[in-house]
Amino acid sequence: MQYRLRYYLPVLFLAALVIQVSFWTYSRTIKPDLGIVPDVPGRSSVKALSFGDEQFFFRLLALQIQISGDTFGRSTALYKYDYKKLNQWFILLDSLDDESDFVPTMASFYFSQTQNRPDVRYVVDYLYTHAAHRPQKKWWWLVQAVYLANHVLKDKDLALQMAKPLENAGDDVPIFARQMPAFIHEQRGEFDDALRIMQDIQKNHKNLSAGELNFMKYFVEERLKRLDTVTKERSGAPLRAQ
């Protein structure tokens, strides 16, 4: 019996090896269709599946979206992602926790780096939805939305829309953020609107530093000169006295 076992073991081992190598040769090029961005579930389903612990489920889902496309040994370029789905995921995650900065951070600093520039519009739209109704608390994400709209999408109309909530965001918001609508107006050639915003901030904001006051004084004076130049070019009116 022992002799037979010793005789058959090498044969069985060789047969198993041949089967394994044959299976690997046939299946090595077959890859499962894992998808990249998972389908977005309904809010009621998410609420039910959280079993009362929405914070835990929020963190679990947010992590899954962060690593989607880079699981099971894959590495997926950002341009291959479905950004419409990502936008829906971001909004869904906000329904679980809209105070956390994890999702807007992931959206603005990671997913905005896509090689397909038009997809950045979905990131900008999400950041506006996340922050526009509470600019005094979420002003940073509006600043990111302005930057992406202006410098990545090259859409100054969209950038101005993103910047408008910052104008009256309150004294607790940094001056540079409240000035962003003025900067966009200026880039659009709307010097009178830029001037108005700067003057309003200068008059109504408390505790401005000397450096901020000097910059705003310089900005107002320079834009008055440019506004007079534009007015003269359009109507032939004399320049403002210097």
Same domain assignment for residues 209 and 175:
yes
- CA atoms in the 13 A half-sphere facing the CB of 47: 5
Distance CA(219)–CA(182), nearest Å, equals: 10
Query: Region 84-107: what's the mean pLDDT?
Result: 96
Phi, psi of 48, deg, nearest 5? -70, -45
Residue 212 CB burial class (10 angstroms; 0-12, 13-18, ≥19): middle
Same domain assignment for residues 156 and 44:
yes
Same domain assignment for residues 153 and 229:
no
Reported as a single tens digit per residue, the pLDDT across 50-78 is: 898 999 999 999 999 999 988 877 789 99
pLDDT of residue 239: 47
Distance CA(181)–CA(167), nearest Å, equals: 6
232: pLDDT confidence band, cut at 50, 70 and 90?
Answer: low
Same domain assignment for residues 157 and 187:
no
Reported as a single tens digit per residue, the pLDDT across 126-179 is: 999 999 999 999 999 999 999 999 999 999 999 999 999 999 888 889 888 999
User: Which region holds residue 14: left if phi is over 0, alpha if psi is between -120 and 50, else beta?
Assistant: alpha
> Could you give the number of structural domains in the chain?
2
Is residue 33 assigned to a domain? no
Same domain assignment for residues 56 and 160:
yes
User: Which region holds residue 4: left if phi is over 0, alpha if psi is between -120 and 50, else beta?
Assistant: alpha
Same domain assignment for residues 161 and 104:
yes
pLDDT of residue 79: 96
Check whether 98 has a pLDDT greater than 60: yes
More confident position, 219 or 15: 15
Same domain assignment for residues 149 and 180:
no
Check whether 49 has a pLDDT greater than 50: yes
pLDDT of residue 233: 67
Q: Is the dihedral of CA 168, 174, 179, 180 positive or negative?
A: negative
pLDDT of residue 31: 65
Mention every residue, 6+ apart, whose C-beta is less than 8 A from residue 33. none
By residue range, what is the domain housing residue 102?
Answer: 39-165
Lowest mean pLDDT: which of 22-31, 41-50, 106-115, 129-138?
Answer: 22-31
Check whether 242 has a pLDDT greater than 50: no
Same domain assignment for residues 160 and 174:
no
pLDDT of residue 225: 65
12: pLDDT confidence band, cut at 50, 70 and 90?
Answer: confident
The answer to whether 68 touches 38, Cβ cutoff 8 Å, is yes
Query: Region 108-116: what's the mean pLDDT?
Result: 96
**Average pLDDT of the chain, as a whole number:** 85
pLDDT of residue 213: 66
Question: Token digits for 52?
Answer: 């009362």
